[in-house]
Amino acid sequence: MVVKVAKVQKTNLLPVVEQSEEEKMTVKKYLRGEAADLGELQDKKLKGQLAVREDLYGKSAQAAAQAEKWLMPSEGGYLEVEGIEKTWRIKQDAIAAEVDILSSRKQFDIVLPDFGPYTLDFSLSGRYMIAAGKKGHMALLDMKNMDLIKEFQVRETVRDVVFLHNQKLFAAAQKKYVYMYSDNGTEMHCLKEHGAVTKLQFLNKHFLLTSINKFGQLHYQDITTGEMIGNYRTGLGRTDTMEVNPYNNVIGVGHSGGTVSMWKPTSAAPLVKMLCHQGPVTAMAFHSNGHLMATAGMERKIKLWDLRKFEVLQTLPGSTKAMQFSQRGLLAAATGSFVQVYGDLSGSQEYSRYMGHSIAKGYQIRKVQFRPYEDVLAIGHSKGWSSILIPGSGEPNFDTWVANPFETRKQRNEKEVRSLLDKLPPETIMLDPTKIGSVKPATKKEMPTKQDIEADKEAAVEGAKKTPLKKKTKGRSKPSKVTKKKQEAIMRAKKPFLEKQDEKVKKKRKRAEEENQLPKSLQRFARKAPAS
């Protein structure tokens, strides 16, 4: 009995869903460039391998787009108005009346008139804030629970304060030296090499504490080993304007002559020195993408620079002594007791007024700082500090591997160990970090062949022959003299080629003599050449 097995055609039970334009754009964001053109390949094996690889790239991009859809549910938004209304006319009271209770708690004023002006800094996750008054008052706060962790008085002038790799350590630039403190107010280290520092920055990927003192000296110190990586004189005088580019960790310093210099720890000379203003640079800030820089000068101008071309993109009127970009590209600039926020809402790199806020008259703003992953702007002024709501300023979704506001003690310890293992060396700081991993081009020039030398020689001779001669009077343009001058021109054209040939012969003869030279013990038996 013969049993016939019928062939069953496999059918795809899952319906094919067409992707929307938004989903296609998300998938395109995760693709590794354009797909390779496999039609021109002749090798069938290589063609098949590349086809499988391109298919895997497409599937991984779709999986990443799906993960973004489900794991990044929050979307950032901006203020929207109707008709002839303007966003910069909306007050903080109107915003607080419309937002939820948790968001309204982020809007407050702390008045401490005896210790100001205050400077501020946030941790990477945005959960913790350190506030330091110029008259020595320091306070560490948990902004999520609105709790005061530690408050103490150093009884000395404090010019700047900055968090280190996490909220457990922070550095303060005091009257004479830089001090490192723990989260419970204990003094850990006194860094005397930095001197009287005016500005501090911390490079978290390299664990480098960077400072510039009142003599214009730039210091880089590794806080893991205590080694001083670099100590350079800028040579452009005292400054209190220094910012770090988050894209490549290059330090930008603004000077009193209107110039901005950019530094890395392994170079004693600046990578870039550009004239930005006709007067002293009062403030500067870097965009998170690393390609946009904002500078402010005493001539009451705010300039936006494209760092890929080092050209001015836009000039805005106004002066400021405190300026910063948010995670989503909003620019906050403070003058006196007024804060102006500019936004690129159209995406064409044309900044315009977005929001404004005026604190109590007479308060002088010293520092503005956007809180990471929150639509909050912190303002440090002469009478304390304030917090206002700026819709659309913070990144709505955080990556727990980079910055986790809800991390436990165990997670924090594991992250500290992992970041120490992944610490980048100072040599990786450069203007274009994409060059890391690329192949360095060969510096040795290829030696020209004999045919190339002969061709160059003939071209030089032909050029000498065709060179027109000036017509001169009184018998100096006779045919015999013209011929003689052309021969001299030909000889001058041949001379460099003949000299190179003689040098090669001499080097070859010298090398042969060195190879055939007798050892010192036998040289006295060698036959001496007859004197000429």
The pLDDT assigned to 356 comes to 93
Predicted confidence (pLDDT) at residue 1 exceeds the cutoff of 50:
no
74 band by pLDDT with thresholds 50, 70 and 90: low
Predicted confidence (pLDDT) at residue 228 exceeds the cutoff of 90:
yes
Predicted confidence (pLDDT) at residue 437 exceeds the cutoff of 80:
no
285 band by pLDDT with thresholds 50, 70 and 90: very high
103: left (phi over 0), alpha (psi -120 to 50) or beta: alpha
Span 342-354, average pLDDT: 86
Predicted confidence (pLDDT) at residue 189 exceeds the cutoff of 70:
yes
Ranking 274-288, 329-343, 347-361, 449-463 by mean pLDDT, the lowest is 449-463
Q: What is the number of alpha carbons within 13 Å of residue 506 lying toward its C-beta?
A: 6
The pLDDT assigned to 133 comes to 94
Mean pLDDT of the residues in the chain: 85
439 burial type by CB count under 10 A (0-12 exposed, 13-18 middle, 19+ buried): exposed
DSSP states of 406-451: T--HHHHHHHHHHHHHTPPPGGG--S-GGGTTSPPPP-SPPPPPHH
The pLDDT assigned to 475 comes to 63
The pLDDT assigned to 441 comes to 67
Predicted confidence (pLDDT) at residue 217 exceeds the cutoff of 50:
yes
The pLDDT assigned to 204 comes to 93
The pLDDT assigned to 446 comes to 66
What does the pLDDT look like over 504-529, one tens digit per residue? 888 888 877 776 776 766 666 666 65
Bridge partners, 368 (sequence order): 379
Decide if 245 contacts 228 (C-beta within 8 A). no
Q: Helix count (H) and strand count (E) of the chain?
A: 7, 28
Span 315-336, average pLDDT: 93
The pLDDT assigned to 9 comes to 43
Give the residue, 347 or 318, on which the prediction is more confident: 318
Span 7-19, average pLDDT: 46
Predicted confidence (pLDDT) at residue 445 exceeds the cutoff of 70:
no
207 band by pLDDT with thresholds 50, 70 and 90: very high
The pLDDT assigned to 19 comes to 67
The 10 Å Cβ neighbour count of residue 415 is 19
DSSP states of 268-318: SS-SEEEE--SS-EEEEEE-TTSSEEEEEETTTEEEEEETTTTEEEEEEE-
Predicted confidence (pLDDT) at residue 37 exceeds the cutoff of 70:
yes
The pLDDT assigned to 501 comes to 83
211 band by pLDDT with thresholds 50, 70 and 90: very high
Q: Which two tokens stand for residue 46?
A: 């290589």
Decide if 372 contacts 126 (C-beta within 8 A). yes
The pLDDT assigned to 261 comes to 94
Decide if 175 contacts 157 (C-beta within 8 A). yes
What does the pLDDT look like over 232-261, one tens digit per residue? 999 888 888 999 999 999 999 999 999 999
The pLDDT assigned to 175 comes to 93
The pLDDT assigned to 61 comes to 83
Q: Which two tokens stand for residue 314?
A: 């836009």
Decide if 194 contacts 211 (C-beta within 8 A). yes
Span 268-278, average pLDDT: 92
Predicted confidence (pLDDT) at residue 184 exceeds the cutoff of 80:
yes
Decide if 132 contacts 178 (C-beta within 8 A). no
- Strand residue runs (E) in 178-258: 178-182, 187-191, 197-203, 208-213, 217-222, 228-233, 241-244, 251-254
What does the pLDDT look like over 120-158, one tens digit per residue? 999 999 999 999 999 999 999 999 988 999 999 999 999
